[in-house]
Amino acid sequence: MNPEDLRLVEIEQTKSKEELLEIIVMLKKELSGSKSYRIENDAALMAMNREFIKVQEERDRLKKENHDLKAALILANEQSKLKTKDLFGRSSEKLLDLTDTDPEIEEIDEAETDIIDFYMAKEKIHYDRGNIRHTVKKIAGKRKELLDRLPQQDRFLLDAEALDIEYGQRNWRIAFWRRHRVVEKNPVVYYTLNTYTPVISVGLEHMLYTVPYCSILPGSYASSSLLTDIVYQKFFMAGTYYRLEHSLENFGVSISRQTMSNWLLYFSSNYFSQIQAHMHDLLMLSPYHQCDETTIRVNNDGRKAGSRSYFWVHITSELLDTHPIVEFCYELTRGTDHLRKFYEDFEGFITCDAYCSYRILGEENMNVIIICGCAMHMRRRYAQSLALIDKSAMTDDEIDQLIEVKALGLIGQIYDADEKLKTYAADERKAKRDTLVRPLVEAYYEYIESLDTDAPEMSNRLRDAISYSLNQKEYLCRFLQDGNVPIDDGATERHIRSLAIARNNFLFCSSVKGAEAVATMFTVIETAKANKANVYLYLKYIFDEISKHVYNKKFENLEDMMPWSDAFIRYEQSHRDMLVPDASPNEYRERPKIPPKIPNEGISA
């Protein structure tokens, strides 16, 4: 014990036993109170600790929520910017369009384009940015080609009396004729065609017989030309039944929307479906396909409101030297079942995007169905990332150093090299790809593999673009294996665009049968467009053939119903020259040899 403790012991030894007992009791009470206080204090500390943990958890939750909200806000802003660009900006994904804007070119008035095109045809205008060189040049003879392929009608304007007054009677002659070319359109005329068939009396009994008359739709006033116009306006021109109804009313024809819809469903299911089925059979003979899908809303499909349905689009490879075929298929879902059914007996290549169902199909049919990637989707991710960067304050050198610009430049070189090979045969194209395209593909992947995707300054969009290329490398490089496989699936997207424009107008289909009819009609029309047929005349040809098969509802030769058939080509050639209005005064359909003689005194008429 220390001295202080010894001093306290000496003091306590002088106290009596009763005093010591009182001290002990007092100390025990203090000890008991201290224990109670400590217990309460511990309980309070534990409660405070629990509250502190709750506060920490709440703080972490709020931080995570704040982080997620910021990420969602950034994503929403990016989507808004991309949507604004899609609506009002350039649709091109070319590098020059994404990195440079020339206000003098963008602000050209449409009325001045002919003058500007004239000067551009004489002198090329170049835009240089770094190692990127863009040339604007009018294609020589494009206008002449346009005018020459239309039906021709000549008219010669000559007002001899006016010329006599202006230059003196017989004081002028025609040196030569100057040609002025414009495109004219005949006014739309709807009229009632009254067709009479004889009722004949036969024999002495005078039995009456009516010579049969074949109407395209018995009991209806529909004609092949009227039906052609409705289908053409509805699908090729992306119209709606409401607009068609009012357009026809403007010309004095009253046809309700329901009637037009019923006609479409009838002819689609009974006749056009036969043409689609034959096109499907021909499509499946090709071992090179391209595929994509898009959404459609169907109101009465037996599911809850707002459920999405899908149009699947299958086409022959754009590089095949055959008649292209485009088929639209309606499905309730985007599941793999459609692909399994459609490609049940298929062997070959399918070019598509990175949607998982295509990969599943390829894995289930290993070495039978080869799935190939789409470089357009690879490029689009870089383009979107670049579009979100504010480049207004950046110099050209700073823009050129952006990862997106470098990647797009390398991808552009791949596209430029492959584009030049489209006119080659498949085997030669593959050989050229090995020597010209493959090194560019390897250079692109060498560059992106050298990038650090974990760098904090790298945006999520750019990181996604790089990851997409790396994850899809096996599929994206498969176009190098076969000359008939295209580098991307852009051809399918271009055919889907027609449907997307129409969908923006009619918004939805009322029933599953209506959606199937839409798929059938777009199959026929897009295949005709792909084969460069006159779609209006092709539809007219089909309806004219339907009128010959009203009762059996079956085409005799489906091959003749294809847009490349000799039968249709003959029909198209014979119907291209449309009726023209009668000549007006002072107009002549043939070239006048001399001015008409005008009677005058001293001059014989």
What digits encode the pLDDT tens for the residues 165-217? 888 887 888 888 888 888 887 778 888 988 888 888 887 777 887 877 788 88
Please state, in angstroms and as integers, the Cα–Cα distance from residue 227 to each residue in 32, 261, 529, following that order: 104, 11, 19
Q: How far apart are CA 98 and CA 84, in angstroms?
A: 14
Position 99 scores a pLDDT of 63
Position 137 scores a pLDDT of 53
Q: 482 with 469: CB under 8 angstroms?
A: no
Q: How far apart are CA 341 and CA 364, in angstroms?
A: 13
563 DSSP 8-state letter: T
| Mean pLDDT (the chain, rounded) | 85
Q: How far apart are CA 191 and CA 189, in angstroms?
A: 6
The residue-averaged pLDDT of 501-516 equals: 92
The residue-averaged pLDDT of 71-88 equals: 76
Higher pLDDT, 322 or 24: 322
The residue-averaged pLDDT of 28-53 equals: 86
- Residue 235: strand, helix, or coil: helix
Q: How far apart are CA 461 and CA 468, in angstroms?
A: 10
Residue percentage of the chain with pLDDT more than 70: 85
Q: How far apart are CA 459 and CA 385, in angstroms?
A: 8
Position 112 scores a pLDDT of 38
Q: 187 with 519: CB under 8 angstroms?
A: no
Higher pLDDT, 325 or 76: 325
First-to-last C-alpha distance (Å) of the chain: 160
| pLDDT for 102 beyond 60 | no
Position 158 scores a pLDDT of 84
Position 111 scores a pLDDT of 38
What digits encode the pLDDT tens for the residues 340-378? 999 999 999 999 999 999 999 999 999 999 999 999 999
Position 585 scores a pLDDT of 64
Higher pLDDT, 232 or 70: 232
| pLDDT for 494 beyond 60 | yes
Q: How far apart are CA 79 and CA 388, in angstroms?
A: 9
Position 138 scores a pLDDT of 56
